[in-house]
Chain A
């Protein structure tokens, strides 16, 4: 068919361009930013209310003498005073830093081991058959169980703490990556292959980025497991030379029968765990999901 590209054809092309521009405009959804007021009402107000409610109930239990024994339930103000004193004596940040530095460093090692391990399990059939089930089984083993053997093998020192963190977090991180890889849509792999992404190139350009949401979910869980394992290790294996972390603080409170100190330690453990998640892992997860259009605004 010989083409006759004269004026009618060119005009036809122009009208097609206009038609397409119109369709594109009609089908593209405009998204605005959510006003702060709405964010406040939907995201900030509910948890603040819940926390206040807990404080009110707590204070009521003490004020109305429903629990009339400060060694069982100290008043919120007593716990606050303990926290403030620790702050004023300059010890508070020391407790937190001891635990957080251990936790993050342990998590970092777990990341270095868990990532290649997960990739190996996901991509090599023999490795998956060999250690896949053990790896997912390990997730259901409470990491406290690793503390006694770790103490016997490594003694009462920091390496013992890191060993317990690794045993708790590595399976989560590796499993997250495995399930991320398993959920990569086959269409992406086929599309990658037609573009020439095979073998290592395929892993780097297609499989890893496609598996990122599952991997990040694994990291999030891995951090939770790291933190829990570390606290278990610090509580059970407290030893003065190791420096006082939040777990030891809790154990010291129990030994001194100081309930306010016990509460202080529990609150700090909770707050630090949540804070790391809110500051690092949740934003990371939201960014990954949002950039792929997987996060539906509620």
Chain B
């Protein structure tokens, strides 16, 4: 029942995994009594690993991400993470009363970074997401893709070894999304972060991840896992990506069909 927050592992540390989800269940009080949303989920994310959680509506993937982020508590089971994970949402969730740079500085400030270092760090992070010169821009002056990149820089400012992403590109147009896929892959490979990425887009999952985890719906259970060994740089049009996507989609459709059978 306890949610343990293990401290950063320095060689002798306790957390050999970036995230360890052990027998986690979650139920909510619904109109028909307690409703089980997640059922006995066990999943590890290794340091530096990129895992996508894939599932149809009602599989509880966002619920699981909230649990890992510490925004909610599991009904049963334990979740161990290496410090407080960073989280990116489908909406950019940038604060409109701050400039792009100050949004990042707020994350640094809340982490206890000294005032004198914040500005340089924020500029550095903006450069990492290729938004040099956007420091003084207001959120509403940025395009959708730029906002998500600032949100990514803000998440990276937390310097958490684990980045959780809740369908962060779902609201973007196809061209921008494709570019941000490349961008995320590049940043992940540069920083060696562990990423747990939630999506309902099979190709996105295959294109980005080293491991794809398929969740069944109502309640969410782990249905199957695939290891993705396609070399980088990948493209959404690659045959290898397409082939694996077809296989995963078949399985996903099978999971969805089960719900129409009674």
* Segment among A90-98, A184-192, A277-285 that sits at the interface with chain B: A184-192
Do the beta carbons of A212 and B233 come within 8 Å of each other? Answer: no
Q: Report the bound CA distance from A1 to B209 in whole Å.
A: 11
Any A CB within 8 A of the CB of B111 = yes
Q: Report the bound CA distance from A193 to B183 in whole Å.
A: 26
* Segment among B11-19, B39-47, B93-101, B242-250 that sits at the interface with chain A: B93-101
Do the beta carbons of A196 and B179 come within 8 Å of each other? Answer: no
Tell me the smallest distance from the CB of B89 to a CB of chain A, in Å.
6
Do the beta carbons of A20 and B142 come within 8 Å of each other? Answer: no
Tell me the smallest distance from the CB of B258 to a CB of chain A, in Å.
32
Do the beta carbons of B179 and A19 come within 8 Å of each other? Answer: yes
Any A CB within 8 A of the CB of B20 = no
Any A CB within 8 A of the CB of B31 = no
Closest to B93 in A: A191
Among B95, B145, B233, point to the contact of A23 (Cβ < 8 A).
Answer: B145
Any A CB within 8 A of the CB of B58 = no
Any B CB within 8 A of the CB of A210 = yes
Q: Do A188 and B95 contact each other (CB < 8 Å), given the known contacts A1-B231, A1-B232, A16-B186?
A: yes
Do the beta carbons of A195 and B179 come within 8 Å of each other? Answer: no
Closest to B149 in A: A20
Do the beta carbons of A206 and B144 come within 8 Å of each other? Answer: no
Do the beta carbons of A195 and B158 come within 8 Å of each other? Answer: yes
Q: Do A194 and B233 contact each other (CB < 8 Å), given the known contacts A1-B210, A23-B176?
A: no
Query: Residues 52-75 of chain A: 1 if any B CB is under 8 Å from the residue's CB, otherwise 0?
Result: 000000000000000000000000
Do the beta carbons of B96 and A293 come within 8 Å of each other? Answer: yes
Do the beta carbons of B142 and A28 come within 8 Å of each other? Answer: yes
Chain A residue numbers with a CB within 8 Å of B97 are: 209-210, 212, 291-292
Any A CB within 8 A of the CB of B253 = no
Tell me the smallest distance from the CB of A45 to a CB of chain B, in Å.
30
Any B CB within 8 A of the CB of A197 = yes
Do the beta carbons of B141 and A28 come within 8 Å of each other? Answer: yes
Chain B residue numbers with a CB within 8 Å of A286 are: none
Chain B residue numbers with a CB within 8 Å of A291 are: 96-97, 138
Tell me the smallest distance from the CB of A261 to a CB of chain B, in Å.
47
Among A13, A19, A28, A194, point to the contact of B69 (Cβ < 8 A).
Answer: A194
Do the beta carbons of A190 and B179 come within 8 Å of each other? Answer: no
Any A CB within 8 A of the CB of B32 = no
Any A CB within 8 A of the CB of B87 = yes
Do the beta carbons of A194 and B87 come within 8 Å of each other? Answer: yes
Q: Report the bound CA distance from A210 to B139 in whole Å.
A: 14
Q: Report the bound CA distance from A131 to B85 in whole Å.
A: 39
Which of A9, A17, A191, A292 lies at the interface centre, i.e. has the most chain B CB atoms within 10 A of its CB? A191
Do the beta carbons of A20 and B140 come within 8 Å of each other? Answer: no
Do the beta carbons of A195 and B110 come within 8 Å of each other? Answer: yes
Q: What is the predominant secondary structure among interface residues of chain A facing chain B?
A: helix
Among A17, A21, A195, A293, point to the contact of B139 (Cβ < 8 A).
Answer: A293
Q: Report the bound CA distance from A140 to B91 in whole Å.
A: 39
Tell me the smallest distance from the CB of B96 to a CB of chain A, in Å.
4
Chain B residue numbers with a CB within 8 Å of A4 are: 231
Chain B residue numbers with a CB within 8 Å of A23 are: 143, 145, 175-176, 179
Do the beta carbons of A187 and B179 come within 8 Å of each other? Answer: no
Q: Report the bound CA distance from A191 to B175 in whole Å.
A: 26
Q: Do A292 and B96 contact each other (CB < 8 Å), given the known contacts A23-B176, A28-B142, A195-B107?
A: yes
Any A CB within 8 A of the CB of B208 = no
Among A3, A9, A194, point to the contact of B71 (Cβ < 8 A).
Answer: A194
Chain A residue numbers with a CB within 8 Å of B131 are: 24
Q: Do A20 and B86 contact each other (CB < 8 Å), given the known contacts A28-B141, A293-B138, A293-B141?
A: no
Closest to B50 in A: A1
Any A CB within 8 A of the CB of B106 = yes
Tell me the smallest distance from the CB of B58 to a CB of chain A, in Å.
21
Q: Report the bound CA distance from A187 to B158 in whole Å.
A: 18
From residue 119 to 167 of chain B, which have CB atoms closer than 8 A to chain A? 130-131, 138-146, 154, 158
Tell me the smallest distance from the CB of B256 to a CB of chain A, in Å.
28
A191-B87, A209-B98 given. 17 additional CB < 8 A pairs? A12-B233, A16-B179, A19-B179, A20-B183, A23-B145, A23-B175, A23-B179, A24-B145, A28-B146, A190-B89, A191-B93, A194-B85, A194-B158, A196-B158, A197-B110, A291-B138, A294-B96
- What are 9 A-B contacts with C-beta separation under 8 Å? A1-B210, A16-B182, A188-B95, A194-B70, A196-B110, A206-B95, A210-B95, A293-B138, A293-B141
